């Protein structure tokens, strides 16, 4: 195919994921951040996994790289959401005294999540399969 052919951009030159797949995989990772930012006021940590879930469900059958990275982003988002809910429950059960521990932990988790999501998005854009550390693999 020639370089001016519009279909040439979707065919990988090296046998790796296409540019389209890499872009959607990157969106799957970044959508967790966007969902968290947009819903933090009313849905809290649940907003983290809505974006990766939607992208994975829509693209999993047509794009294998997005299937893999979408599941990875979804698993990480679910893990972060569960940890945040558990820390919130700990704060409530200790009548707020646990906030001395949970607030710094939530801040550390937030910063670590931001770093990991950015790293994952960069790797996905490069066509490299990224695996988040300390993640429950619930969606297989």
pLDDT of amino acid 50 = 85
Residue 84: CB partners within 8 Å, gap ≥ 6? 44, 45, 106, 109
Of 19, 49, 18, the C-alpha closest to 31 is 49
pLDDT tier, 85 (very low <50, low <70, confident <90, very high otherwise): confident
User: How confident is the model over 97-122, as pLDDT tens digits?
Assistant: 989 999 999 899 989 999 999 999 99
Taking the chain, what is the end-to-end CA distance rounded to the nearest angstrom? 36
Both structure tokens of 62: 């047509």
Domain range list for the chain = 15-123
User: How confident is the model over 33-83, as pLDDT tens digits?
Assistant: 887 777 664 455 666 788 899 999 999 999 999 999 999 999 999 998 889
pLDDT tier, 11 (very low <50, low <70, confident <90, very high otherwise): very low
pTM attached to this predicted model: 0.82
Residue 20: CB partners within 8 Å, gap ≥ 6? 9, 10, 63
């Amino acid at each position: 195919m020639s370089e001016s052919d519009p279909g040439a951009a979707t065919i990988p030159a090296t046998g790796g994921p296409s540019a389209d797949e890499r872009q959607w995989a990157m969106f799957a990772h970044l959508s967790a951040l966007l969902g968290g930012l947009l819903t933090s006021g009313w849905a809290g940590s649940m907003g983290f996994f809505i974006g990766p879930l939607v992208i994975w469900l829509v693209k999993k059958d047509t794009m294998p790289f997005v299937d893999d990275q979408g599941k990875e982003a979804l698993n990480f988002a679910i893990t972060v959401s569960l940890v945040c809910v558990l820390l919130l429950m700990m704060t409530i059960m200790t009548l707020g005294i646990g906030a001395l521990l949970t607030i710094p932990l939530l801040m550390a988790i937030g910063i670590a999540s931001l770093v990991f999501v950015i790293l994952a998005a960069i790797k996905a854009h490069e066509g490299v399969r990224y695996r988040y550390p300390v993640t429950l693999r619930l969606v297989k």
